[in-house]
């Protein structure tokens, strides 16, 4: 698609989004929750049902999303009325459910579960599943905050996996820390029982080690360095919980202790690039959306080419910064807010954004082990931010290839479309926006606008054909 056509399409989508309530209520009438697998499923379902019935007098809710469902992996999303305030619901306060858009869930499902993979020849035979879910994985989430996909990764991966989240925004990372704390660490909301033997608790909570780094994902090299500060470590947070018993709000000295521990932990990690970077102060004066756009890919190339002991990952998620034109709920919130905020990315700085997306996917791909899997996703429906970025990567690296994925039966679910590159997926909620909620429940289970591509990196001994 030409740049001009792309612009027209974006304007058209924005016009649809700016239309009055009668249109927007159709596609905003559901929001989504995911169950926390640490709690008993039936108990959570009963609680949620009774809360929704009390609030809405409507027994249809919650509605299970059939196109993203795998009981075997405890993967399950439910649609609930969009006007419900999750904050006021016990099921949410108790950490039994996460509020998460279902299309975001599709990105994590594509990253970790090959039940959604399609064969390129269209046959039913599933690809080699030897690497799926049977082993502990090293997973990188390169733009992780506020962390809902990161928590879903932590819920799905096998024991002893390690998960590293990186984000440039300290502010958004502190939200991320809170979410991990709530669902994975706190004894009251994470489904853990502290009356158990401390060693048992430790063992269970240690399932997946989660580390968060504050730094630029375009230059992150898999390790602690002056440019990427370790700001959270789940093992260390669990130690704190076990030594202090029931978690209280951290006082000044506890926070200082935590900082010291993280610094110590960070300094124990191998760090061959420490001397090469002096960017730590960039993050102090943090801007949420614009940063370091002057770093050239070539200089990153050079730096990474000299790396000898680089940490590589089996799975990498690049859920890139984007223009968010598919994020219906956020746009509606912004429109209904009395203080209208300017969109961060507009036509005038779109090139800068696309450059950032390319540098992010490039960095993620370099940190991917051969034989590994990378998912690139955005909540934009723009071809320039999606297919063009993915094509750019495919052209740059011979050993990169698309692993085709699909969700549900697309003849029934018209909002799930094949992207501009065969095997990629576009979730386009605008196609079913005029349908009232009870005319076709399936069309209401669309979630926000979203794009995802699943990429593989050939092993050196794999043949090219």
Residues annotated as catalytic (active site), given as ranges: 379
Contact between 186 and 163 (Cβ < 8 Å):
no
Q: Maximum distance among all alpha carbons in the chain?
A: 64
Distance CA 257, CA 299 (A): 37
What does the DSSP assignment read for 427-459? E-GGGGTT--TTT-HHHHT--S-EEEEEEEE--
Is there binding between residue 169 and ligand SAM (CB under 6 A)?
A: yes
The C-alpha angle with vertex 230 and arms to 228 and 236, in degrees rounded to 5, equals: 170
Is there binding between residue 172 and ligand SAM (CB under 6 A)?
A: yes
Q: Give kind and range of the element (H or E) at residue 211.
A: strand 209-215
- Looking at residues 4 to 33 of the shown chain, list those that interact with ligand SAM (rule: CB under 6 A): none
Helix pair 198-205, 234-244: axis angle to 10 deg: 160
Is there binding between residue 168 and ligand SAM (CB under 6 A)?
A: yes
Q: How far is the CB of 412 from ligand SAM (least distance, A)?
A: 27
Is there binding between residue 419 and ligand SAM (CB under 6 A)?
A: no
Binding residues for ligand SAM, how many (CB under 6 A)? 19
Is there binding between residue 104 and ligand SAM (CB under 6 A)?
A: yes
Is there binding between residue 109 and ligand SAM (CB under 6 A)?
A: no
**Listed ranges 215-223, 266-274, 329-337, 446-454: which one lies at the site for ligand SAM (CB under 6 A):** 215-223
Binder of ligand SAM out of 217, 326, 447, 456 (CB under 6 A): 217
Contacts 24+ apart (CB under 8 A), 149-152: 149/104, 149/107, 149/108, 149/317, 149/319, 150/176, 150/180, 150/210, 151/98, 151/179, 151/180, 151/183, 151/184, 152/34, 152/98, 152/100, 152/104, 152/105, 152/108
46/301 with CB nearer ligand SAM: 301
The binding track of 185-214 with respect to ligand SAM, each residue x by CB under 6 A or -, is: ------------------------------
* E strands, 283-344, in order: 313-319
104/443 with CB nearer ligand SAM: 104
426/442 with CB nearer ligand SAM: 426
> Was 58 annotated as part of a binding site?
no
How many CB atoms neighbour CB 64 within 10 A? 12
Tokens of 434: 């005029």
Binder of ligand SAM out of 51, 114, 155, 167 (CB under 6 A): 167
- Looking at residues 286 to 325 of the shown chain, list those that interact with ligand SAM (rule: CB under 6 A): 291, 319, 321
218/400 with CB nearer ligand SAM: 218
Contact between 425 and 441 (Cβ < 8 Å):
no
Binder of ligand SAM out of 186, 216, 387, 388 (CB under 6 A): 216
The owner of tokens 């540098």 is 359
The binding track of 132-161 with respect to ligand SAM, each residue x by CB under 6 A or -, is: -----------xxxxxxx------------
192/227 with CB nearer ligand SAM: 227
Roughly how many angstroms between the first and final C-alpha of the chain, as a whole number? 28
273/442 with CB nearer ligand SAM: 273
Distance CA 120, CA 405 (A): 10
Binding residues: 319
Binding residues for S-adenosyl-L-methionine: 319
Q: Under the rule (CB under 6 A), what is the footprint of ligand SAM?
A: 104, 143-149, 166-169, 172, 216-218, 291, 319, 321
């Amino acid at each position: 698609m030409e740049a001009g056509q792309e612009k027209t399409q974006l304007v058209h989508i924005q016009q649809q989004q700016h239309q009055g309530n009668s249109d927007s209520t159709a596609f905003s009438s559901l929001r989504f929750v995911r169950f926390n697998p640490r709690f008993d499923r039936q108990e959570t379902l009963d609680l949620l049902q009774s809360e929704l019935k009390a609030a809405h007098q409507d027994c249809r809710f919650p509605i299970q999303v059939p196109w993203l469902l795998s009981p075997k992996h405890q993967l399950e999303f439910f649609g609930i009325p969009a006007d419900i305030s999750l904050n006021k619901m016990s099921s949410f306060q108790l950490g039994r459910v996460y509020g998460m858009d279902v299309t975001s869930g599709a990105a994590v499902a594509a990253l970790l579960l090959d039940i959604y993979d399609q064969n390129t020849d269209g046959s039913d035979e599933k690809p080699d599943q030897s690497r799926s879910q049977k082993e502990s994985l090293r997973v990188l989430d390169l733009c992780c905050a506020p962390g809902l996909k990161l928590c879903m990764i932590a819920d799905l991966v096998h024991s002893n996996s390690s998960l590293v989240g990186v984000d440039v925004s300290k502010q958004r990372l502190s939200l991320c820390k809170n979410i991990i704390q709530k669902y994975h660490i706190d004894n009251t909301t994470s489904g853990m029982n502290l009356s158990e033997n401390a060693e048992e608790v430790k063992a269970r909570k240690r399932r997946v080690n989660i580390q968060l780094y504050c730094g630029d994902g375009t230059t992150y090299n898999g390790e602690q360095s002056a440019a990427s500060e370790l700001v959270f470590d789940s093992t260390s947070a669990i130690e704190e919980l076990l030594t202090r018993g029931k978690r209280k709000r951290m006082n000044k000295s506890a926070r200082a202790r935590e900082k010291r521990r993280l610094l110590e932990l960070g300094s124990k990690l191998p760090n061959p690039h420490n001397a090469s970077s002096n960017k730590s102060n960039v993050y102090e004066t943090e801007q949420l959306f614009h940063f370091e756009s002057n770093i050239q890919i070539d200089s990153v190339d050079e730096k990474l080419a000299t790396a000898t002991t680089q940490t590589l990952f089996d799975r990498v998620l690049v859920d890139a910064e984007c223009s968010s034109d598919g994020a219906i709920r956020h746009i509606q919130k912004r429109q209904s807010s009395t203080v209208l905020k300017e969109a961060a990315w507009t036509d005038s700085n779109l090139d800068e954004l696309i450059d950032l997306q390319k540098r992010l996917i490039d960095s993620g791909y370099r940190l991917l082990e051969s034989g590994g899997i990378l998912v690139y996703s955005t909540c934009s429906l723009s071809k320039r931010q999606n297919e063009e970025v993915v094509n750019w990567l495919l052209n740059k690296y011979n050993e990169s290839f698309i692993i085709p994925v699909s969700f549900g039966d697309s003849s029934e679910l018209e909002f799930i479309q094949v992207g501009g590159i065969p095997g990629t997926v576009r979730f386009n909620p605008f196609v079913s926006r005029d349908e009232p909620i009870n005319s076709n429940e399936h069309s209401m289970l669309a979630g926000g606008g979203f794009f995802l591509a699943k990429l593989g990196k050939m092993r050196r001994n794999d043949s090219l054909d």
